[in-house]
Structure 1
Amino acid sequence: MQKREAENVRPRLKEYYKTAVIPKLMEQFGYDNPMSCPRLEKIVVNVGLSQAREDIKVVDLAADEISRITGQKAQIRRAKKSISNFKLRQGMPIGVKVTMRRDRMYEFFDRLVSIAVPRIRDFRGFDAGAFDGHGNYNLGLKEQQIFLEIDLEKADKVRGMNISIDTSAKNDNEAKALLESLGLPFRKIKEQQPSKKEQIKK
């Protein structure tokens, strides 16, 4: 009975999205139907492992860490073709990743913005220019130790990761409003780094 009740418990952030974020987005963008509001669709956590060419053990270590961070078993990414210049053979492990959807996605995002991100030293917010033009966002983390699931004494090295957040938003502006409403902090406009095009013009 308790197990069934636990399975019916909606993640805190998912409940917040339905009760607070949807009404806010409907007012902000003039939606008539709650189903039209942008929502999270999937989150992919990816770790590149170039050092796996010299030490295959790092694959298992990284996979274990990402599995604990996300609560889902990590998948090993393998090279699709050989590249002699990089001493890369087809089928060789080059990284690990986890793709999350539905409740697990909301649970991870909640831990990310509520616990992990506040532990980043000298953090001023994420780059608002990292959207892809289609309502999806990519962010990079320099170290896995910001997640409480990582045992600092057992971590073999500092390992960064890329997190891709896919949304149903029609554009980047709506996606940014969604992610901000869910707690993802962005840098203030004055603190934003100039884009590559702006740097070239200078």
Structure 2
Amino acid sequence: MAAKKSKKGAYVAVAKAPETPRLKQHYIDEVRDDLQKRFNYKNVMQVPTFEKIVVNMGVGEAATDSKAIDGAISDLREITGQQPLVTHARKSIATFHLREGQAIGAKVTLRGDRMWEFLDRLIAIAIPRIRDFRGLSPKSFDGHGNYSLGVTEQLIFPEVDFDKIDHTRGMDITIVTTAPTDDEAQALLEGFHFPFAEA
């Protein structure tokens, strides 16, 4: 909040407009125009962008330890800044000691500014902290312009305190784009220096 002097001489509080996330501004200033020229889109509305990011953490030990889900919820909340949704088993599987309706994981769907800020932290901070990192597979697209990557431990995110975690857990991150093809989605991600491995 900033103070501004009114016509009568009294100071009134004026709300500051929120800053545009860094990667969103980069998309508006550079990436969008580059993609429009490269793929010859007729108008700016055809240019692919990010729709949402889904972060999913499966908790296999939740079948035997009901408190394990709390750790996953806490970690996801720290990483994304949003309250996770608990996922439940759709059917019983005796081999895995699973009952229908049992909590088996947590997920978060990020949209808008939170999505852009998470993507920024993922590219700039988290991915470079992966041990023995040799680039992300360019083959992890689903055929519809969406990209999925698996992370083996939540500790690559600096928001997670090593002393407060109960287990190291992996997670799946799905980046959903409006791109109709995988090539266009890859070009979109490369515009943000997404670290793909050399094919």
- Point out the structure with the larger strand share: 2
Q: Give matches, 1:52-201, under 5 Å.
A: 52-189=62-199
Deviation at 1:78, TM superposition (A): 0.6
Which residue pairs with 2:21 in the alignment?
11
Runs (4+) off by over 6 Å: none
1:26 paired to 2:12: no
TM-score w.r.t. the length of structure 2 is 0.91
Distance 1:97 1:105 in 2: 14
Identical-residue share of aligned pairs (%):
51
Which residue pairs with 2:53 in the alignment?
43
Distance 1:157 1:26 in 2: 45
Amino acid at match of 1:121: R
Q: Aligned pair count?
A: 188
Backbone CA RMSD of aligned residues? 1.3
Structure 2 unaligned residues grouped into runs of 5+? 3-13
Structure 1 unaligned residues grouped into runs of 5+? 190-202
Deviation at 1:183, TM superposition (A): 2.6
Distance 1:166 1:13 in 2: 16
SS state at 1:5 partner: coil
- String of CA shifts for 1:138-159, please: whole Å, max 9, x gaps: 1001111010001011121211
- Point out the structure with the larger helix share: 1
Which of the two has higher C-alpha Rg?
2
